[in-house]
Structure 1
Amino acid sequence: MWPWRNRRLKLLLVSLAWLCSVGWLYWYITREKEDIRGAVPELLWWTNDMNWAYDEMRYCNLESCRVTNNRQRLKEARGILFYGSNMKPHDFPMPREPHHLWGLLHEESPRNVPFVPHREFLQHFNNTSTFSRHSNLPLTTQYLPHPSDLTQTDYYIPHYSKQVIQFNERLASVVFLQTDCNTLSGREDYVQELMQHIPVDSYGGCLRNRDLPESLQKDYLNNLYSDALLRFLSRYKFMIAIENGICDDYITEKYWRPLIMGVIPIYFGSPSIREWQPHNKSAIYIDDFANAGALAAHLQQLDNNETAYKSYLDHKLKRDKPVDNALLLNHLLTRRYQMNHEQQNEEQSLFHKFECLMCRQAMSTVKLRSANGQHYSCPLPPVHAPLERHKEPKYASDWRSMMNVGRCQALLLDAYFRSNFRYTKAKFEAQLAEMVEQNLCNQA
């Protein structure tokens, strides 16, 4: 008798088929995540800053990638992601596989990683995200949380009201708030000279002559845009804003925060800063003056001249085009990441956007390009604020020496990357010491 004519046997076969279908469906559901991950490119974060297991799917419109920090996945990875602030010259994944794309995310100046500015090092990366407008994901305005912050008047205090506050509370017209007291730019040396010509209220760890209110002392460094801090600082007319390093497009909260408050920045830093200012007269630029004495004379003229003072505040006072810089407006409106921390959508964060940049590159068939010096444009040797009698900052020679060693590190890394062999920390440090001894690190 044929099987399908036997009712009992037919029932048994149907039951077996049903059980197989359920089993297959269960396996499919439980394995779906792994199957999807196996079908997409992998990106590997090569950094010690992540001290937790990181393994996620990143969905970037039409593209998707698996992102992990498990170094055991190195061979399978298509893209290797580096976080520049804590890169170690002896900790790069060698040998580099032919399919490996390298991406660099680095938002800081070269003071922590002195080999980064050099072309010999940068040319080995396919994508970058730095403060430079020429990088693949520019971070030039990362310290300006929202475009409307420039024009809102929540913290703005009119000139005449500041005069009253200044008199009643015995405040200087200039404020300085800084804790990092040893910088490439010679910041503290310049402020010290300025203090000889005009009163400056200095809070924080550098040249401190006044204390912050008790409520602000605890953790202001991690709350640079807190409402309480902005209201406290907005009582001043001028705020010293000197970057810790001088690089094109490297513009931090030191510039944007006074503009947000309606305080005039006294700025020294990015050589390209005038291309990013809200309007043609947004700040007082230190390099417009021969020395601190000449700057102090200008500040004293503005201090008691309300009309001249207000001419720097068009972004707060003008109703028609308060921000008339097309480059700045376009950059703020088109930047792909979100920096408003109070309302930040995780998918809009800088790190996720960088992962998506690398994901798209990993799936692209376009010929790969290499980064160049414009992706991290910093003058070498380091530039410092102009001091009287052409003096050098106290630690200028130390910073020059450090950046020279950085050049040797870049040259050595270039040689290792080209040879594509694994190397040890001991070998790297021994060869570096030999190059330094032979005086091979001086800037070309």
Structure 2
Amino acid sequence: MRLHRRYYVAVCVILCIWLAFLFVCSQWISSYDGLKTSDPVQLLWWSRSFSFNYDEVRQCGVDTCRISNKRSRLPMARGVLFYGSDMKTSDFPLPRGQQQIWALLHEESPRNVPFVPHLEFLRHFHFTSTFSRYSNMPLTTQYLPSEQALTSLEYHIPFEEKSKVYPSAQIVFLQTDCDTMSGREDYVTELMKYMQVDSFGGCLKNNDLLERQVEPFEFKLVIFMILFFSLNKDYLNNLYSPELLKFLSTYKYMIAIENAACPDYITEKFWRPLVIGVVPIYFGSPTIKDWQPNNKSAIYVNDFPNPRALAEYLTKLAKNQTEYDSYRSHKLNTQSPISNEWLLLNLAKRQYHIGDSSPGGSLFEKFECAVCRHVIHGSRSERAHSLHYDCPTKPPFAPLENQVEPVNVADWRSVLEVGQCQAKILDEFIRRNSSYNKADFAAELKKRMDENNCN
């Protein structure tokens, strides 16, 4: 009798354990299914420049995010994405959700958005992607297609051939913007007094391809260039078009002066002449030598007191093949073309560069995925600091004769001073965390400017 009783007790215990196990498993499976079917983390582009409804589910490795530009989704958004050149001082999503991460994508200099460089504004962002090496997703080398582009001989022209093609005009200037913080147009104007500079862009244009004497094999190239400049066809998407590179490669020097001088702000102005075997005449980023392929890769404007001194050096260099080619060791040194290990390391680990045609290779898609991963795995306590977008309030400019200042430098200083005031106001408004409008911001800015209360 006792054996039967013990048997029944044992069966009941086993049955209970089995039922409990089934219950736990069902809960786990239910929970797992719930995770699989739950909505992905939502990100919102805060921009009015989208001319279309944007709503995409993006797979970023093991992470998934839904990205939209529909402002009605702001309450559900874990991350808010801003494109720097599209930001307006009176258009920020306030009040701000406690769990929302703000992310900034801004590859341009401060000429378009002068309040960005200031800490008072930057510290409200948890994630940045800028030209600075210190940002979360640096874009310092974005305009360099690849390491192979630097070493390739595809567009390289030997010294002797360059001397035959353009014996008098050895410098090319290709620019449409004639109002820059760096005083680029003033510097080139002065340089033109001492050397012939072929300028084909809208700025300081002094040459027309229709007037050039060209060989028959160049006819197709000339037709392309005429269309390119006369019709201004989508220049930004043709920075490295083969036709353009072939044309520019015939020159010995190329003006490579940035529109602003900020640490790590390096555009195609520097990389493109290196790619085609032309020596850049560079002014811009004060950290540029950290990024050059070798210790001698460019001629730096700051190494000369004025354009006349530079012209004297360029004239002598153009006649010395050995010395000239010493600037092109990234093309000519087959054993060790690039000695800059820092540059090679950054090229290997960078997240974005132009010309990436792979799925998800565009700048915006790369940025979206980087923010997606940061929102899911990163810390909300991390904030941007001044090095994430580092530009001086008083813009440096290329040195002119007798220390003369560029024509527009005073105007640009004023613009950046206003930007500093805007940043301080934005800091207060964002901290206040309540909505405001354009008139509110304008009134506060006028008050501070009138009272000289921006410092």
TM norm. shorter chain > 0.5:
yes
**Deviation digits for residues 182-205 of structure 1 (CA, Å, limit 9, x no counterpart):** 000000000011111111111111
Partner residue in 2 for 1:215? 224
Q: Structure 1 length as normaliser, TM-score?
A: 0.88
Partner residue in 2 for 1:82? 82
**Deviation digits for residues 323-377 of structure 1 (CA, Å, limit 9, x no counterpart):** 1111111111111224215xx1231322122111211222126352110110001
Partner residue in 1 for 2:396? 383
**Aligned partner (choices 179, 182, 185) of residue 185 of structure 1:** 182
Check whether the contact 1:37–1:65 (CA below 8 A) recurs between aligned residues. no
1:177 aligned partner, one-letter code: L
2:289 aligned partner, one-letter code: R
Partner residue in 2 for 1:258? 273
Answer yes or no: is 1:274 the counterpart of 2:283.
no
Partner residue in 2 for 1:405? 418
Separation (CA, whole Å) in 2 of partners of 1:284 and 1:365? 42
Q: Percent identity over the alignment?
A: 53
Check whether the contact 2:47–2:86 (CA below 8 A) recurs between aligned residues. yes
Partner residue in 1 for 2:215? none
1:74 match: secondary structure: helix
**Deviation digits for residues 52-94 of structure 1 (CA, Å, limit 9, x no counterpart):** 1111111111211111110000011000000001111111000
2:263 match: secondary structure: coil
Q: Structure 1 stretch 36-45 or stretch 204-213: which is displaced more? A: 36-45
Change over 3 Å in CA distance of 1:84–1:365 after alignment to 2: closer
Check whether the contact 1:126–1:368 (CA below 8 A) recurs between aligned residues. yes
2:82 aligned partner, one-letter code: F
2:300 aligned partner, one-letter code: Y
Partner residue in 1 for 2:371? 358
Partner residue in 1 for 2:141? 141
Change over 3 Å in CA distance of 1:36–1:114 after alignment to 2: farther
Unaligned runs of 5+ residues in structure 1 are 1-33
The alpha-carbon deviation at position 122 of structure 1 amounts to 0.2
1:321 match: secondary structure: coil
Partner residue in 2 for 1:15? none
Check whether the contact 1:37–1:57 (CA below 8 A) recurs between aligned residues. no
2:80 match: secondary structure: strand
Give the 5 Å matches for 1:163-174. 163-167=163-167, 171-174=168-171
Partner residue in 2 for 1:340? 355
Change over 3 Å in CA distance of 1:174–1:320 after alignment to 2: same
Separation (CA, whole Å) in 1 of partners of 2:50 and 2:202? 29
Separation (CA, whole Å) in 2 of partners of 1:308 and 1:353? 41
Aligned residues: CA RMSD: 1.5
**Aligned partner (choices 327, 331, 334) of residue 312 of structure 1:** 327
2:148 match: secondary structure: helix
Separation (CA, whole Å) in 2 of partners of 1:96 and 1:366? 17
- The number of residue pairs the alignment matches comes to 404
Unaligned runs of 5+ residues in structure 2 are 1-33, 210-221
Check whether the contact 2:126–2:380 (CA below 8 A) recurs between aligned residues. no
**Aligned partner (choices 293, 301, 305) of residue 286 of structure 1:** 301
**Deviation digits for residues 213-232 of structure 1 (CA, Å, limit 9, x no counterpart):** 44222326231211111111
Q: Structure 1 stretch 305-314 or stretch 360-369: which is displaced more? A: 360-369
**Deviation digits for residues 104-144 of structure 1 (CA, Å, limit 9, x no counterpart):** 00000000000000000000000000000000000000001
Q: Structure 2 length as normaliser, TM-score?
A: 0.86
